[in-house]
Amino acid sequence: GDSVTQMEGPVTLSEEAFLTINCTYTATGYPSLFWYVQYPGEGLQLLLKATKADDKGSNKGFEATYRKETTSFHLEKGSVQVSDSAVYFCALSGGNQAGTALIFGKGTTLSVSS
C-alpha cells in the first residue's frame, strides 16, 4: 500500500541554519503531497502542498518540490528561527478525488536554539 517515510528526528539546529527534512513516498497513481506542522500544544496545520510532479509548494520561507523521478518531497528552509521549533509531518493523499485519507510519515521533531 501507499506509504510515507521521513527522516527520524530529533533535528537540532542553531538559529539561521539551513534545514532539510527528507521525505520519500510510495504510491500508486499520482498522489498529492503535503507538509503539515504541529507546534507545541497545538493541532496540525497545513504548511504547504504540491499536487503534481515538479510543483513547488512554499509558505513561511519553507519550500518543497514534488519529485516524481525520486519519489521525494523534501522540506527545506534557508534560515530557521526559534519559532520554527515543532513537529513536521510529510503526508500524501491518493488524488484529488474526495474521501482519500491522508497517509502520514512518523513526524520529525525540529528544535531550534538561539
Partner 1 sequence: GAGVSQSPSNKVTEKGKDVELRCDPISGHTALYWYRQSLGQGLEFLIYFQGNSAPDKSGLPSDRFSAERTGGSVSTLTIQRTQQEDSAVYLCASSRRGDTQYFGPGTRLTVL
Contact residues for partner 1, defined by CB under 8 A = 34, 36, 42-46, 49, 89, 91, 93, 96-99, 101-107
Report the candidate in 81, 74, 87, 91 with the shortest Cα–Cα distance to residue 35: 91
Q: How far is the CB of 107 from partner 1 (least distance, A)?
A: 7
* CB closer to partner 1 out of 10 and 78: 10
Residue 113 CB neighbours (<10 A) = 10
* CB closer to partner 1 out of 72 and 100: 100
Q: How far is the CB of 17 from partner 1 (least distance, A)?
A: 26
**C-alpha span between 11 and 88 (Å, rounded):** 11
Q: How far is the CB of 93 from partner 1 (least distance, A)?
A: 8
* CB closer to partner 1 out of 17 and 102: 102
Q: How far is the CB of 99 from partner 1 (least distance, A)?
A: 5
* CB closer to partner 1 out of 11 and 87: 87
All three cell numbers of 53, joined, read 510532479
**C-alpha span between 24 and 66 (Å, rounded):** 10
